[in-house]
Structure 1
Amino acid sequence: MSEHAGTQQEALSTSTFGHARSVHDCDSTLCELEVDDDFVQSSDIDAKAGGIADWLLQQYNTIEFGNIAQYRVLTQAAHIYDVMGSEQDQGQTLVAVFKALAQHVDIDANFLVVAGAQNGLPAVVAYALQLASALGRKERARFQADLDWALREAVRIGSIKICKSLRAAGANIHAPPPPVPGAVAPNLIRLANGNRPMISYLQGLGLTNGPDLDQASWERAQRYLRAKRARHVTFRVDDSDEDA
Structure 2
Amino acid sequence: MKLSAEHRAFAARLGHDFRRPELLVRALTHASIASPTRPDNQRLEFLGDRVLGLVMAEALLMADRAATEGQLAPRFNALVRKETCAEVARDLGLGEVLRLGRSEMLTGGRRKEALLGDAMEAVIAAVYRDAGFEAARAVVLTLWGDRVRRVKADARDPKTALQEWAQARGLPPPAYTEIARDGPAHQPLFTIAVQLTTGETEQAQAGSKRAAEQAAARALLTRMEKPHD
TM-score by length of 2: 0.30
> Which has a greater percent of strand?
2
Whose radius of gyration is greater, 1 or 2? 1
Q: Which has the higher contact order (CA 8 A, sep 6+)?
A: 2
Superposition TM-score, scaled by structure 1 size = 0.29
